[in-house]
Amino acid sequence: MAGARAGSENSPPRVLRISQLDAFELDDALEQLVWSQFARCFQHFKPGLLTRMEPELKALLQLLVWRFTVYSSSATVGQTLLNIRYHNTLIAGQKYRSLSRRQKLWFALLTVGEKWLKERSHSLFLSNSAHSGLQKARQALALVSSAVKVASLLNFMLFLQSGTFPTLTERMLGVRPVFVRDQSAREINFHYMNRELLWHGFAEFLIFLLPLINVWKLKTRVSALFSISDHSSQKSESVGRSECGICAEWPIMPHSIGCSHVFCYYCVKSHTAADVFFTCPQCGAEVTTIQPVKFQIEMAEMQQT
């Protein structure tokens, strides 16, 4: 009992499952960021310049990141941000042991090499699909890839149960993440937590409420309130207008909805199809009938001339 108690005291504290998964997400985000910044350097060159060598260039950038993270400090970038690092579980009796040089090299081979092989083999087999030997190699590689995926799924289910070795690579190498220093209990201020809960509830309320509000109709109602003085004069005006009441351009196939304004046919049709209670954005009048007004416009132009 005393030996087991001493072993538990010397063993490093376990990292939460969510922290281990967050580290992977941060590593993927960094990989995409590095590649996007690298590809941006060649944006003014000939299109497709990096397509041929894209798997090799990605592998080179990943090896460069591995050299200054896992190889030098036994931790990826995501783990460093979360104050965790890899612990060598193959050596017992010590509180912390960094990765050996062989483990670091195998880590690069099983992570960077696996991604490169997946991308390069796809283009290789696609360009030489008629060769019989390559067809057999492609089938063998697909079989191995399927077996690895099944093993990774089983390993992840074990990880959800035990909380250790989230990837098959870590289980094969015997490495697992541990905290860099002992984690003390975090205290959260009650007022801060109450404020966060309040804002989250208010945001969810707005997300639920905003789709139920007809913004277009509300806008027209407000604009109609501020243009009450012009409403009576607009009633007496003729239907002929020189611009659409929606797009403010010369009306194409002009139509009227019952008020003194005209609209493009496609403008008024699309808006009435999207909103059954569509009203004129200029005066707020409701739609009665949609009729062409080409004759009235021509008569108004003749009267003006």
Summarize pLDDT for 6-34 with one digit per residue, the tens.
444 455 667 888 889 999 999 999 999 99
Count of Cβ atoms closer than 10 Å to residue 103 Cβ: 19
Given a contact cutoff of 8 angstroms between Cβ atoms, the answer to whether 58 and 123 are in contact is: no
> What does pLDDT average to over the chain?
78
Residue ranges and CATH numbers for the domains of the chain are: 2-179 (no CATH), 216-304 (3.30.40.10)
Summarize pLDDT for 99-124 with one digit per residue, the tens.
899 999 999 999 998 888 888 877 76
The model's confidence at residue 3, banded by pLDDT at 50, 70 and 90, is very low
pLDDT score for 50: 84
pLDDT score for 102: 92
Which has the closest alpha carbon to 31: 66, 3, 7, 70?
Answer: 66
Give the CA angle between residues 178, 179, 180 to the nearest 5°: 115
The region that residue 163 occupies, defined by phi over 0 for left and psi between -120 and 50 for alpha, beta otherwise, is left
The pTM of the full predicted model, rounded to 2 decimals, is 0.56
E strands, the chain, where? 84-88, 175-179, 255-256, 262-263, 291-292
Q: Scanning the structure block, which residue is given the tokens 């909380």?
A: 163
Instruction: Determine the Cα–Cα distance for residues 183 and 18; give it in Å rounded to an integer.
Output: 15
Instruction: Determine the Cα–Cα distance for residues 217 and 271; give it in Å rounded to an integer.
Output: 11
pLDDT score for 150: 93
Instruction: Determine the Cα–Cα distance for residues 149 and 141; give it in Å rounded to an integer.
Output: 12
Phi, psi at 217, each rounded to 5°: -70, -40
Strand partners, 256: 262, 291
* Residue-by-residue DSSP string for 260-297: S-EE-HHHHHHHHHH-TT-B-TTT-PBP---EE-HHHH
Summarize pLDDT for 126-170 with one digit per residue, the tens.
655 556 666 777 788 888 888 999 999 999 999 999 888 999 999
- C-alpha distances in Å from residue 59, one per residue of 9, 117, 225, 237, 274: 40, 10, 64, 72, 50
By mean pLDDT, which of 20-24, 83-87, 179-183, 292-296 is the weakest? Answer: 292-296
Q: Work out the average pLDDT over 51-74.
A: 91
